[in-house]
């Protein structure tokens, strides 16, 4: 695995911090994400809900779109911290749309998705494990 425990714990901490900025008045499900670029920079994001639901945005995509907007495309890992506002954190896995966004910018074999209840209780997966047989740019080549 191309990520060490110190990096994992730092990402989990930063995701938990980002979670505090969540705007989730409808679901009360707060999510924060911390995205690690190859250059060591960490980009965070939180979920932002909307009364019309469709315009809502997940924490993972918030972090990805911020990274891309900063010119960062060489991305190594993302940690996600989520759970109900007044409850214990869950293993908050990314939704299908977020996984597809990750596939656009990351190598599925070497990009890590870390979900954690805490810095000690976490799971690490590759994107390929969570999005097998994904559709990507290679599918559009003739």
Annotated catalytic sites, by residue?
Answer: 60
Could you give the CA distance from residue 81 to residue 12 in angstroms, rounded to a whole number? 7
Any residues with CB less than 8 A from the CB of 122 and at least 6 apart, and which? 8, 12, 79, 114, 115, 116
Strand order of the β-sheet with 122-126 is 42-46, 29-37, 75-84, 112-116, 122-126
Q: For residue 95, how many other CB atoms are within 10 A of its CB?
A: 12
Q: For residue 21, how many other CB atoms are within 10 A of its CB?
A: 15
């Amino acid at each position: 695995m191309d990520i060490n425990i110190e990096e994992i714990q730092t990402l989990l901490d930063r995701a938990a911090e980002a979670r505090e900025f969540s705007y989730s008045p409808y679901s009360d499900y707060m999510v924060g994400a911390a995205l690690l670029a190859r250059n060591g920079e960490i980009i965070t994001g939180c979920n932002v809900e909307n009364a019309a639901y469709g315009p809502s945005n997940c924490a993972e995509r918030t972090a990805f779109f911020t990274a891309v907007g900063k010119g960062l495309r060489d991305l190594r890992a993302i940690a996600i911290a989520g759970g109900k506002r007044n409850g214990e954190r869950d293993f908050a896995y990314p939704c299908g749309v977020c996984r597809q966004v990750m596939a656009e910018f990351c190598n599925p074999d070497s990009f890590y998705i870390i979900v954690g209840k805490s810095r000690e209780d976490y799971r690490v997966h590759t994107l390929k494990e969570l999005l097998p047989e994904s559709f990507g740019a290679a599918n559009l080549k003739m």
